[in-house]
Structure 1
Amino acid sequence: MPGTSLVVPVVLWGKFAPTHCISCVYLSKDLKTLATGCYDGQICLWQVDPDTLHMIPRCLLVGHTAPVLCISRASIIQDNNYIVSSSEAGEMCTWDLVDGKCREAVKLPQVHTNMQAYHMCNCEDVRLFCNGYYPEILVMDPFSLEILFMLSSKQNPDWISALHVLRPAKRKDDVVLALTTTGMVKVWTLLGHENKHLEPIYENESKQIRTLNAVCLQCCSYNQRTVLVVCTKYWQIYDAGDFSVLCSYLAPRGERWMSGDFLAIDRIIMWSDAGKGYLYKLPANKLRGKNISNSSTPDNKDFHTQSIESDSPFLYCLLNQPDSKPLSCPPAMSFITTNRANAKNKSRYLIRGDSEGIVLAWSIPEISPAQLDEIQKQKPPQPVVMTATLMTSLTEAWASMKPNPVGILDQIEKQEGQQIKLTASIYLPLQSKFVVGREDGTIIIVPATQTIMLQLLHGNHQQYNGWPKHQILSGHNGRVNSLLYPHREHARYDKNHLVSGGVDFAVCLWDLYAGTLLHRFCVHAGEITQLLVPPNNCSARVQKCVCSVASDHSVTLLSLAERKCVCLASRHLFPVTTIKWRPNDDFMIIGCSDGTVYVWQMETGHLDRVLQGIAAEEVLYACEEHEAADGTSEVGLANPAVHFFRGLRHRNLSAIRHATQRGLHQLHMLGAHTNNDDPHMQRNHNSPLAIQGLRTNPKDPESHILFFDVEALIIELLSEEYDMMSPGSLEAAGLISQSEYSRVANLTQSASPDAHKKIVDFFGKMKNKAENMEMIIKEKDKHGNSLS
């Protein structure tokens, strides 16, 4: 919808909470906001009570198309409510936590697996240090998502598996410590004036150690001499001076380490893929540094008198899950140290999110040295077992809501006495109808306005029995996957036709008004996944067709007029991801998930060619250029921006010069066109209501978002009010002249950006005239005189 309109969204979630398989968790240091990313690409924001840790789901951020791998804060200021997220597809987004808007988005060729926010020297705010499936370390601005500079490797470059940024004591520079997948430790020193225009920044030191595929590298903030390196099978403590191994510990049987951190000089916390936390005390005689004598170990004065048991780490506390239910996939866990302004002591929490959408939080206990001695003296030693401080989920939040979240077809479910999952939907604004496909194969057609009134508004209308009856279309044997109303896409289609595709391999053609099944296409050998219409400039025969895509990797053109299949493209080896059109050449270009492109002739159904690699990319780029071509004097020519970037890629100066000239010419023509024509007349008429289906997971029932365009709604209401008035009623009351009435009547027929302002001015004039008439009448009553 245009940005000049005020659009109010309302979500009808339904009675079932959306699936939320958590892939990463982030808890703000002020304990007010929890963000959980999931494998479906959404991010859920939870409002947290800092005192009780009670969590309420507040907002669902939809923007990523792949699993969210990491979430980080965007500023050192606690009141700066922004976070940065990164997905498996290289997408990065900066989110505003107040209103949930995406303030900045970018897609990079690099995929981050870890982002660390760090406040560098000579910088006003934090920078994001990112590592992942690439050999460099990217340093980015969290608000512009621009790569400021990158740290490269000169010796044995490889993917960076873990990194840590720290500032050594009594120094004004920053040190980046990183570990590659092959076990090469690298050290960079940053002075604060680095930028991407300088020469490549290479490591200052590097050393090979005996670790492979490390998942965590953490320096102790209490004693920078010790470094924790975590691999899936073991964790190790290293001396930062020469990177010699001080102590090592294997993972419990059947579990893999995920990460860890330091709790004190001689204490660490570890967590595994079983969703448990482990607290260890490190042997004091294995640690180095000037502050070790101040550690919590009571008997570290004489290292030589310690027992053999003290030479290895000691497990003194276990953070266990409430039940022993196995997890279907490794949970996402994070350790957080609070930084609340009013808190006397810093609190530390371990947060976990699992595949069921359940969030658990453990408060890390403070165990004194005396208690450690008591635990260690037991034969065998029994660690303290702590249960989760908090446990919540979206399902629990849904169950606690009074009244329960409503769905768009709740009134029909009450009549039928059963709940059937909604799987597809389409809104028809001109007919004011809402069409919903369900899991049992039925298609329900309901009046949209009355249905929304029943769900959102409480009043006597909910007791009425005179609402229009809904229609039920029965023809599919199983779930309805997709719906298409071709006339909405283009006026060349019959306005009575409705097309649906289901899990039963069939595409059904319906008469929307009569509710009858006109034809059943049985061409595919897999369930229908998508329905779309060809472009308007195709041949006359193809213009009467709809395109259907199925899970057997086939694509068909089905003629609604001839009631038969015109073209069957069924030789694709991988799922279909892209469909492009070249109508002038009678080509339908199909791109698959493996990067292969198939070129089909639409009229004859013959496979023209199969392309791979660079040739396949060039064909898809050419199709995008034709789609991006403008409809003015340069019909068929590509967007100048596309030509410009292709010229840069191929280093073709003539192509760059030509694209620049065309771009300037189009901007000049666009400016002249805008100046000559009224922009209010160019704006498309908006419907006051739009309904969009939302499904966060393929297994979830559809939720629905209602978009209310306030400006279009006001204009629609005024138009209906004027239509009900008798001609000349306003003039007879003396509230408006004939010319003003004509102007306002014309105003209600156009949806201009400043229509609201004009309507307010109009009613202001009416109000002034009414007040003047009221004053004259009062004067007449006061003096007893007639108006004449």
Structure 2
Amino acid sequence: MRVSIPAVAVWGRIAPSHSITAIMITDDQQTIVTGSQEGQICLWDLSSELKISSKEILFGHTASVTCLAKAREFEKQPYVVSATENGEMCVWNVTSGLCIEKTKLPYRHTAIYYYHCSFRMTGEGWLLCFGEYQDVLIIDAKTLSVLHTLSSQSSDWINCMCIVRSARIQEDSLVAVSVTGVLKAWDLSSSLTSIQERQNVCEKESKSLDCMNCRAIRFCTYTERLLLVVSSICWQVYDYCDFSLLCTEFCKSGQCFAGGEVLAAYRLIIWTEDGYSYIYQLLNSGLSKSTYPADGKMLKETVYPHLLCFTDVKENKSFPFVMGFMNERKEPFYKILFSGEASGRITLWHVPDVPASTFDGSPKEIPISTTWTLQDSFNKAHSMSEGIIDHLCEFKDGIENAVVTSSVYIPRLDKLVCGCENGEIFITLGLETARARFLENVSLKGNLPHKVLNGHSSRVTCLLYPHGNSVRFDPSWLLSGGQDSTVICWDIFTGKILHRFSLQSGPVTELLRSPDNCKVSYHSVVCCVCSDHSVAVLHLQKKVCLLHARKHLFPVKKIKYDPTENLLIVGCYLLTLSFVCDVYEHLRLIREVKISILFKVCH
């Protein structure tokens, strides 16, 4: 019989980190869902007055969340799906907070769209996914199993897509743009039988667009004619009937477009990576597509944009933004532009039904309706219980002396290890401390044992207890990485420094243990990733650095070991190349490989 053990997470005065990487609003406009770099999903209540309050934090992922989407018809089942960098997928009930279904696939999704055709399909519908793989995956919305793939004659990664539902021709289509700027269109409703029978389904049309790095594509359901394509440097409007170009607008110097939506017939909203958005009215130029200019070529520009309004985030522009738009046709009929920041802040704008410029014709700024963070919710709670490490992080003049920057809990030893902003490391009892504080209401200061380790000159960025996942490592070893570019091996029982690795690189960002299936002589090896894109391999038993690979031009994204050849595979944030290092034999860069091949190895 399966026994479920409830777990309780308790925070002190400081809210947990929630660096927003994905954001959506549910169809009923009552819940905001955010995914984070830390892997948590946060549910926020949204009132009819557009006031935000945090509701729940959902734990179920072990990697950064890449995308969110609805997973059912929301009136029937309030489900959303989340996906992460390492291929995890979860379906959540946003009313109860329960995880309904989960899986892990060898695919990194960057966007998901729910599709269901009630009069032609059985089951709960499909999740149409694209990401760092070729073409479009079709996943069962109930079981999260892969059903089929929408392929193409020239397969490629997809940058963006949208579902086109045409009431005029009673046909659903999927329109996508590849990383090379090729627009592709698949029939959905007429291909249901072929997909269910796993027959090959290719695109019905394809066209090369004059733009690269497309960020969004949207179909205008009001006119059933216009197709909006947003790239990083410009946005364009095409005629959906023949894919002829109608309009082009370039971004301002120093800005990059990130997405857009259709507000109404001939009215668009476009937003940028740094939190701006612009609302345009498309006006007729008075020229016809059948008119030919003097050079004999077909005229393209038949409409031109007029800027009506704009929005702006007044501060924190150093943080990256993820933005979206909801145009709800039910009560309270709000048009909402929303954004989430890496700082954890959510911002909402109420877009008027008929946006208008000022009296002199200049664009009008739409004010922020509301903005909120998790910390705002914590500050709103007037009675805050003492946290289990608050007695170690004493306050002076209302300022916390030791802000926790990394932590690890060791269940076998019941030890909670916390690295701090000032370089100190606290080791205290975990469950014993929690019991004393919350069950027995005992003041913790001076009543429970703890250790303070001093060795780093600045922030402790990461911690690793390698024996917790592998008995190959000595149970006394505790590793800490710091902003001072050092890795320290501690004796967790005595608090003494066993060895200090000085890397002379950037701050240490991650510590990873070697896999169980590597050579016996390298069972005491850990891998260290630094912010200057370098990777170091440290032998704890021999107290030496086996390798420090410094030639990566781009940030390190993924590290994998190949035990058969003793290779360390380092994947970087680069579309074409990665690097493969022979760790134990030649200690040098031996070859470059295509990133698509690397992902197959990594997954």
Report the TM-score when normalising by structure 1: 0.60
Instruction: Determine the C-alpha separation between the residues in 1 that align with 2:176 and 2:479.
Output: 54
> Out of 39, 55, 71, which is 1:74 matched to?
71
Q: Which residue of 2 aligns with 1:188?
A: 186
Alpha-carbon displacement from aligned partner over 1:722-761 (angstroms, at most 9, x marks no partner): xxxxxxxxxxxxxxxxxxxxxxxxxxxxxxxxxxxxxxxx
**SS of 2:377 mapped into structure 1:** helix
Unaligned runs of at least 5 residues, structure 1: 289-309, 560-564, 601-605, 615-620, 625-788
The Cα shift of 1:332 comes to: 1.1
Instruction: Determine the C-alpha separation between the residues in 1 that align with 2:214 and 2:527.
Output: 43
**SS of 1:194 mapped into structure 2:** helix
Q: Which residue of 2 aligns with 1:245?
A: 245
Q: Which residue of 1 aligns with 2:27?
A: 29
> Out of 432, 439, 451, which is 2:433 matched to?
451
> Out of 568, 573, 596, which is 2:580 matched to?
596
The Cα shift of 1:364 comes to: 1.6
| Pairing of 1:196-345 with structure 2 (within 5 A) | 197-284=197-284, 312-321=304-313, 323=314, 325=315, 327-338=317-328, 340=330, 343=331
**Residue 143 (1) aligns with residue 123 (2):** no
The 8 Å contact of residues 410 and 468 in structure 2, kept in 1 or not, is answered as no
Alpha-carbon displacement from aligned partner over 1:86-132 (angstroms, at most 9, x marks no partner): 344554333333234362223234x4333222323512444223334
The Cα shift of 1:208 comes to: 4.2
Give the direction of change, closer, same or farther, for the CA distance of 1:236–1:408 in structure 2 (3 Å limit): same
Residue identity matched to 1:352: S
Q: Which residue of 2 aligns with 1:14?
A: 12
**SS of 2:6 mapped into structure 1:** strand
Instruction: Determine the C-alpha separation between the residues in 1 that align with 2:468 and 2:282.
Output: 72
The Cα shift of 1:74 comes to: 0.3
The Cα shift of 1:365 comes to: 0.8
Alpha-carbon displacement from aligned partner over 1:249-286 (angstroms, at most 9, x marks no partner): 33344433322222222322222233233222222576
Larger relative contact order (C-alpha < 8 A, sep ≥ 6)? 1
Instruction: Determine the C-alpha separation between the residues in 2 that align with 1:149 and 1:492.
Output: 43
Instruction: Determine the C-alpha separation between the residues in 1 that align with 2:251 and 2:212.
Output: 15
Give the direction of change, closer, same or farther, for the CA distance of 1:228–1:476 in structure 2 (3 Å limit): closer
The Cα shift of 1:26 comes to: 0.7
Q: Which residue of 2 aligns with 1:96?
A: 93
**SS of 1:596 mapped into structure 2:** strand
Alpha-carbon displacement from aligned partner over 1:586-605 (angstroms, at most 9, x marks no partner): x98755555636464xxxxx
The Cα shift of 1:327 comes to: 1.6
- Larger deviation, residues 408-417 vs 163-172: 408-417
Instruction: Determine the C-alpha separation between the residues in 2 that align with 1:122 and 1:141.
Output: 15
Instruction: Determine the C-alpha separation between the residues in 2 that align with 1:257 and 1:538.
Output: 49
Instruction: Determine the C-alpha separation between the residues in 2 that align with 1:580 and 1:315.
Output: 55
Give the direction of change, closer, same or farther, for the CA distance of 1:578–1:421 in structure 2 (3 Å limit): farther
Instruction: Determine the C-alpha separation between the residues in 2 that align with 1:588 and 1:385.
Output: 59
The 8 Å contact of residues 514 and 527 in structure 2, kept in 1 or not, is answered as no
**SS of 2:433 mapped into structure 1:** helix
Instruction: Determine the C-alpha separation between the residues in 1 that align with 2:367 and 2:323.
Output: 15
Instruction: Determine the C-alpha separation between the residues in 2 that align with 1:92 and 1:435.
Output: 30
- Larger deviation, residues 470-479 vs 43-52: 470-479
The 8 Å contact of residues 61 and 88 in structure 2, kept in 1 or not, is answered as no
The 8 Å contact of residues 478 and 502 in structure 1, kept in 2 or not, is answered as no
> Out of 343, 348, 352, which is 1:361 matched to?
348
The Cα shift of 1:235 comes to: 2.6
Q: Which residue of 1 aligns with 2:297?
A: none
Q: Which residue of 1 aligns with 2:171?
A: 173
The 8 Å contact of residues 478 and 492 in structure 2, kept in 1 or not, is answered as no
> Out of 327, 352, 366, which is 1:386 matched to?
366
Instruction: Determine the C-alpha separation between the residues in 1 that align with 2:527 and 2:518.
Output: 21
User: What percentage of residue pairs aligned between the two structures are identical?
Assistant: 25
The Cα shift of 1:213 comes to: 3.5
Instruction: Determine the C-alpha separation between the residues in 1 that align with 2:103 and 2:401.
Output: 39
Give the direction of change, closer, same or farther, for the CA distance of 1:241–1:147 in structure 2 (3 Å limit): same
The 8 Å contact of residues 572 and 592 in structure 1, kept in 2 or not, is answered as no
Instruction: Determine the C-alpha separation between the residues in 1 that align with 2:350 and 2:363.
Output: 16
The 8 Å contact of residues 358 and 393 in structure 1, kept in 2 or not, is answered as yes
Instruction: Point out the structure with the larger helix share.
Output: 1
The 8 Å contact of residues 82 and 95 in structure 1, kept in 2 or not, is answered as yes
The 8 Å contact of residues 278 and 318 in structure 1, kept in 2 or not, is answered as yes
Instruction: Determine the C-alpha separation between the residues in 2 that align with 1:533 and 1:467.
Output: 39
The Cα shift of 1:425 comes to: 5.1
Residue identity matched to 1:349: I
> Out of 112, 116, 119, which is 1:119 matched to?
116
The Cα shift of 1:136 comes to: 2.0
Q: Which residue of 1 aligns with 2:299?
A: none
Give the direction of change, closer, same or farther, for the CA distance of 1:485–1:112 in structure 2 (3 Å limit): closer
Report the TM-score when normalising by structure 2: 0.76
Instruction: Point out the structure with the larger strand share.
Output: 2
The Cα shift of 1:387 comes to: 0.5
Give the direction of change, closer, same or farther, for the CA distance of 1:453–1:385 in structure 2 (3 Å limit): same
Unaligned runs of at least 5 residues, structure 2: 289-301, 572-577, 594-599
Give the direction of change, closer, same or farther, for the CA distance of 1:183–1:550 in structure 2 (3 Å limit): closer
| Pairing of 1:597-676 with structure 2 (within 5 A) | 598=582, 600=584
Give the direction of change, closer, same or farther, for the CA distance of 1:76–1:546 in structure 2 (3 Å limit): same
Q: Which residue of 1 aligns with 2:291?
A: none
Q: Which residue of 2 aligns with 1:84?
A: 81
Instruction: Determine the C-alpha separation between the residues in 1 that align with 2:144 and 2:37.
Output: 22
Alpha-carbon displacement from aligned partner over 1:440-481 (angstroms, at most 9, x marks no partner): 45444445455213542474x33x988345444545555555
Give the direction of change, closer, same or farther, for the CA distance of 1:432–1:79 in structure 2 (3 Å limit): same
Residue identity matched to 2:31: T
Instruction: Determine the C-alpha separation between the residues in 2 that align with 1:244 and 1:537.
Output: 57
**SS of 1:456 mapped into structure 2:** helix
Instruction: Determine the C-alpha separation between the residues in 2 that align with 1:346 and 1:613.
Output: 54
**SS of 1:399 mapped into structure 2:** helix
Q: Which residue of 2 aligns with 1:63?
A: 61
Instruction: Determine the C-alpha separation between the residues in 1 that align with 2:517 and 2:326.
Output: 56
The 8 Å contact of residues 230 and 260 in structure 2, kept in 1 or not, is answered as yes
The 8 Å contact of residues 473 and 524 in structure 2, kept in 1 or not, is answered as no
Greater Rg over alpha carbons, structure: 1
Q: Which residue of 2 aligns with 1:525?
A: 503
The 8 Å contact of residues 48 and 56 in structure 1, kept in 2 or not, is answered as no
The Cα shift of 1:402 comes to: 2.7
The Cα shift of 1:333 comes to: 1.1
The Cα shift of 1:311 comes to: 6.3
Give the direction of change, closer, same or farther, for the CA distance of 1:406–1:180 in structure 2 (3 Å limit): same
The 8 Å contact of residues 177 and 184 in structure 2, kept in 1 or not, is answered as yes
Give the direction of change, closer, same or farther, for the CA distance of 1:258–1:449 in structure 2 (3 Å limit): closer
The Cα shift of 1:137 comes to: 2.6
Alpha-carbon displacement from aligned partner over 1:511-558 (angstroms, at most 9, x marks no partner): 83xx574x642455368864869979998xx79x95554457444444
